[in-house]
Structure 1
Amino acid sequence: MTTNATAQEIKRGPITVALIIGAFVAILNETLLNIALSDLIQYFHVTTTTVQWLTTAYLLVIGILMPVTALLTGWLTTRQMFLGAMTVFFAGTVICGFAPNFSFLLLGRVIQAAGSGLILPVMMNTILFIYPPEKRGGAMGLIGLVIMFAPALGPTLSGLIIASLSWRWLFYLVLPLAAFSILFAARYLTNVSQVTKPKVDALSVVLSTLGFGGIVYGMGSGAEGGWIAPIFMLIGAVSLVLFVWRQLVIENPILDFRAFRYPMFTLATIILILVMVTLFATMILLPLYLQRALLLSSFAAGLVLLPGGLINGMLSPVMGRLFDKFGPRWLVTPGLLIMCVVIWLFSRMTVSESMLYVIILYAALLIGMSMVMMPVSTTGLNQLPKRLYPHGTAIMNTLQQVAGGVGTALFVGIMAAGQQAYLSKSENPEAPAQALQALVSGMSHAFFFALIVGAVSLLLSLFLKRTIAPAEKEQSQG
């Protein structure tokens, strides 16, 4: 049995910093590559369909891994989980940076995903263990800073690197950061979870892999997957139903869906899914608008999105402290209201909007997002007893990942349908001006649907309230 640090021995500050550094490196790497895909197509002489596997495979591996993080938490210590994940991520980054061909680059991305897919769940799970409920908002706010700041910095930094150096430097520059994270965690990270070595149900692992993997693959492939994509989605859906049923009937589930017996966890998870769908709609549509409607370069589009990400990152810790003081409702409901108003304004954009207008709207959207994400997550997880922490974080992270894939495919499809509808009514559909108007019309349709999703989450937020797990109430009062 592994000996863990007692409450008095745990140094929360160094542990939190170690986790945040690792998460920052992993999340930054995820967004760094997106803007380099066109360069990789030319360098390796591959098609757009082929290069998209760098993203699809990454999401596929993470979608498969996240559901089993609760099981791994029972078998591995905090240090083993985090240091192992970062070491695997480091190895994948080395392979990517020195890849002689596309196959090796894809292999490196898969290995990277195997590491980064474990980092965020172990970070959130550790925060739940080392901070009491009344102080978790501030800690979760720091996590929110990383989760939003890294993706915001990624496209801008990537555009700058691509303009000055080769695409390999996107990986070379990550290596020293990953190495520092490993060394820092090796020095300061303490074991805080209990190793219980639960029984492994092989059938559950197979069903989980087929279920979440099939859905993520099908959604990631989209129209390019042809007839194979819906087949994988069907296999995934059937496997997922069987997986959920099996977890409810076996004694030691790898993902304990009994967490949904706690109403605030259930409500928070539903809100997070809806918010993630809305967020991914914006993250996929807005760069298209900036580059194809306003005709900005990738680097300029990244600069437009940067202020919003920076503001969101700076506000996340503030919102965490406000959550500790006032609870969720006074933050989440106004935040969702702001998001809905901004999405409505996005749906009314034309081909002649100014960059400043888009910057202000996007910044306002992410201000609202900072008031929603971590307060909702913390509210839901706070109601769970400690034995369900790993399962609760795994459920939330997995469903958010799937929601992101669904949101991306759904809103791109709505936008394409809106474009076709506009062009079918045009007298001269081949004219460049008409194609531009069709793009904006399609985006307007997609953003309007995102507004409906946002309005549902706004309505649900009215029922949120501060909660503490029964097992922790006496401890927090003592």
Structure 2
Amino acid sequence: MSVHQDTSVATATTDDASDSKLPPQTKVVLGLLLVAAFVMILNETVMSVAIPNLMDEFTVSAATAQWLTTGFFLTMAVVIPTTGFILRRFSTRAVFITAMSLFTAGTALAAAAPVFGVLIAGRVVQASGTAVMLPLLTTTVLTFIPESRRGRTMGLISVVIAVAPAVGPTFSGFILSVANWRWTFLAVLPIAMVSLALGVMMVKNLTTPAKVRFDALSVVLSAVTFGGLIYGLSSIGEATEGHAPIPPQLPLLIGVVTLALFVWRQMALQKKDSALLDLRPFASRTFVVGIGIMLIAMGALFGSLILLPIYLQKVLSISTLDTGLMLLPGGLLMGLIAPFIGRVFDRFGPRPVVIPGAFVLVGSMALLTMVDTDTSRAFVVVTHVLLCMGLGSMLTPLMASTLGSLKPALYSHGSAILSTLQQLAGAAGTALFITIMTTRAAGYVESGSSELEAQASGIHEAFLLGTALAVVAAALTFFVKRPAPTPAPEERPEAEPERELVAH
């Protein structure tokens, strides 16, 4: 049977909505999506710690081994822009089962890899499933959670985004201390298999698929654009050390040119409602401001995530496992405060949490500029906790207000845009921080500093840039607004047919 969405199901804006209970089917789907997304995002970061072991086992260079991470992110960058189309064209059940099947198959393939090429293939298959899951989760929340409860539910998504990457290196470091690298995949495989089995048995269709035209040219342009940009940004760090296989300027130039063609193509297709990635969300000022702040925040987060382990291991000579344990409290704190921040957003809107969070971010980045060869472990842990507190106060309300400012018909495309740009921001932040650290450290060595002092000074200057970016983000938070309430289904224009909740 089909039951139209009403105020008790998805888009209620009345006071009664806050007390309405979610249908059991929606709870089941959200629970499975959250678990699946957590496991998938956790897997993004586990490889970085295992690279030295893999270099020894497969007799490959560091630049080659790094493709385990680069290949994963490249695949994500290619697939994510297509999720706006995928989520409109196929049902929730079909998308979940396909994404989880790909991730499970990729995990099994990677665990059993006899040669390095097979391991790379397993990571690519994993990433194909991961790329779809977070946009699916976000779109499901936007479509079926009442606005009065959307913030606290988005808080759960922030738990996934924040805690999973923080736990990844610790999880990997612990496993590598007691077993070989294959167990980083084997430990995840049972969870993936159980999630897939439960999905097959319990996930029903929450949406009615629409007949949307597939544009092959858009897919090609998207793959070249975002693949080129991510690859170019990711190889900047290697280029500064003279190890890049091709100059990063080439893929970046190709990416920029094809980006212009991709935008032109989408603007033409969206007039017929058949764009692969509809760009009309950028017509919303709230969306543009929120996206801008999140991109700066994500750049700072990923830049810090790459610099802090380097600082702790290279400058302070701390072990891999201890490094993961030192960075764990901050990630856990982000997860713990996310639901609370979501509740505050539901009641008061974004500004009361986003603005203070942005200034905590500025302060923590400024403190990180003070690290040197004699900095204590406690100072690093406390500063990282403050950094995560600031980011945690920003992410949930920004996601909820940014995506909530869109019309329901654009939710899937807004989620795809956000996820795509987050990948670019992460790559850009990492490239920027690493490039500054490497080039400035080289300059200090030439000036007569020791390797250790030069590394610490390079990291100091990279964090100076991070502080400047955080100041820009803090200034933009004063322009954040609470999105206007989404009209109830009977009030929406006929041109925007509502989705249906399909129960079996």
TM-score under structure 1 length normalisation: 0.95
Give distance in 1, aligned partners of 2:486 and 2:2.
26
The runs of 5 or more residues in structure 1 that have no matched partner are none
How far apart, in 1, do the equivalents of 2:304 and 2:433 lie? 9
Matches within 5 A, 1:46-445: 46-222=60-236, 223=239, 224-250=243-269, 251=272, 252-426=274-448, 429=449, 434-445=450-461
User: Which ranges in structure 2 are unaligned for 5 or more consecutive residues?
Assistant: 10-22, 493-504
Deviation at 1:226, TM superposition (A): 4.3
1:217 Cα offset (Å): 1.4
SS in 2 for 1:371: helix
Within the candidate set 442, 462, 487, 1:446 is matched to 462
Distance in 2, Cα, partners of 1:166 & 1:226: 30
Q: Is the 8 A contact 2:372 2:460 kept in 1?
A: no
Provide Cα deviations, 1:42-68, integer angstroms capped at 9, x if missing partner: 000111111011111101000000100
Instruction: Tell me how far 1:347 sits from its aligned partner.
Output: 0.6
Cα distance change on mapping 1:143 and 1:472 into 2, 3 Å: same
Amino acid at match of 2:199: A
Give the letter aligned to residue 74 of structure 1: R
SS of residue in 1 equivalent to 2:248: helix
Note if contact 1:385-1:469 (Cα within 8 Å) is conserved in structure 2: no
**CA shift digits 1:86-117 (9 cap, x unpaired):** 10100000100011110110110110111111
CA pair 474-308 structure 1, distance change in 2 beyond 3 A:
farther
Alpha-carbon RMSD: 1.7
Are 1:471 and 2:497 an aligned pair? no
Whichever residue aligns with residue 33 of structure 1, its letter is M
Secondary structure at the aligned position of 2:208 is classed as: coil
**Structure 2: how far apart are the matches of 1:194 and 1:453?**
42
Deviation at 1:474, TM superposition (A): 7.8
1:148 offset after TM fit, Å? 1.3
In structure 2, relative to structure 1, the CA distance for the partners of 1:338 and 1:177 (3 Å cut) is same
Question: 1:20, 1:190 → 2: CA distance?
Answer: 16
1:96 is paired with a residue whose SS is helix
Structure-1 separation of matches of 2:385 and 2:158 = 15
Q: Secondary structure of the equivalent of 1:376?
A: helix
Separation of aligned partners in 1, 2:49 and 2:488: 46
- Percent identical residues: 38
Q: Deviations over 1:27-84 (max 9, x none)?
A: 1111122100000000001111110111111010000001000111122101111111
TM-superposed CA distance for 1:221, in Å, is 2.4
Whole-angstrom distance in 1 between the partners of 2:38 and 2:468: 32
The CA distance in 1 between the partners of 2:298 and 2:488, in whole Å, is 29
Query: Number of matched residues?
Result: 469
Amino acid at match of 1:24: F
1:318 CA drift (Å) = 1.0
Q: Report the Cα offset of residue 220 of structure 1.
A: 1.9
Deviates more, 1:289-298 or 1:143-152: 143-152
**Alpha-carbon distance in 2 for matches of 1:254, 1:150:** 29
Separation (CA, whole Å) in 1 of partners of 2:26 and 2:246:
50
- SS of 2:232's partner is helix
Q: Deviations over 1:136-155 (max 9, x none)?
A: 10101011112211112111
Determine the C-alpha separation between the residues in 2 that align with 1:137 and 1:185.
Answer: 25
Query: Looking at both structures, which has the greater relative contact order when contacts are Cα pairs under 8 Å and sequence separation is at least 6?
Result: 2
Among 30, 33, 40, the residue aligned to 1:26: 40
Per the TM alignment, residue 10 of structure 1 is displaced from its structure 2 partner at its CA by 5.8
Amino acid at match of 2:325: L
Matching residue's letter, 1:126 = T
- Matches of 1:437 and 1:355, distance apart in 2: 17
Contact 2:5 2:489 in 1 (8 A): no
Could you state the TM-score of these two structures normalised by the residue count of structure 2?
0.90
Q: Please give the alpha-carbon distance, in whole angstroms, between the structure 1 residues aligned to 2:422 and 2:207.
A: 24
The alignment partner of 1:153 has SS state of helix
Task: State the shift of 1:171 in Å.
Answer: 0.6
Contact 2:368 2:463 in 1 (8 A): yes
Query: Deviation digits for residues 128-171 of structure 1, max 9, x if unmatched?
Result: 11102221101010111122111121111211110111111111
How far apart, in 2, do the equivalents of 1:456 and 1:176 lie? 44
Q: CA deviation at 1:202?
A: 1.6
Compared CA separation, residues 465 and 96, structure 1 to 2 (3 A): same
Once the two structures are TM-superposed, the CA of residue 186 in structure 1 deviates from its matched residue by 2.6
Residues 109, 330 of structure 1: alpha-carbon distance in 2 compared, 3 angstrom cutoff: same
Matches of 2:414 and 2:126 in 1, distance apart? Answer: 24
